Amino acid sequence: MAGEPRDAAAYLTAPFWAQQMQLSEAANVTARRFGLADRLDTLPGGLPYGTRRLVAIARAVAGDPDVLMLDEPAAGLDGPEREELMGLLRWLAEERQVAIVLIEHDVRLVAAVSDRMIALDSGKLVVYGQPEDVVAHPQVVEAYLGETVPSDVAGSEQGSGDQSAAAYKREG
């Protein structure tokens, strides 16, 4: 869908003239990298939940953006799906040079994929900086991680209340 024409003619003719679209190169690369190439003809309802989450991200990426904003992309994903998502986020930033604004309660995931982090508490800035500095900040530890900072930088996967963490991933 991300590669479909969006002009007025497309909106008028699409209901009457269905045609098989060729995917753009960006969409083909994205489908392969996200492991979706063999599922392009599958309706969303026929996909597992984690795969549907990846399809939503892949759809945005297929449009070849310079900046991608993701709100809670890891919500509802299990451990292996989270690991896959982390790899895809790194690939997008490093290989595709996409700047990613990531809003996520999974502090471990944010710290693992980010160059810089911002921690908010009730919409107010708590700290901004390198992931290791942010997750060691006392207010972040209290709000997101519990009593102590886990050895894997931020092992707790859920925060509490209305705190949010935002990450920016892209050099330069």
Q: Do residues 88 and 32 make contact, with C-beta atoms less than 8 angstroms apart?
A: no
Residue 129 CB contacts under 8 Å (≥ 6 apart), including other chains:
116, 117
> What's the pTM value of the predicted model, to 2 decimals?
0.69
Q: Answer yes or no: is pLDDT of 24 > 50.
A: yes
Q: What mean pLDDT is predicted for residues 93-110?
A: 91
For residue 86, give the DSSP letter.
H
- pLDDT for 41-97, tens place per residue? 888 889 999 899 999 999 898 888 999 999 999 998 999 999 999 999 999 999 889
Q: Within the chain, where are the H helices?
A: 8-13, 25-33, 49-62, 79-94, 107-113, 131-136, 138-140
For residue 34, give the DSSP letter.
T
Q: Do residues 99 and 105 make contact, with C-beta atoms less than 8 angstroms apart?
A: no
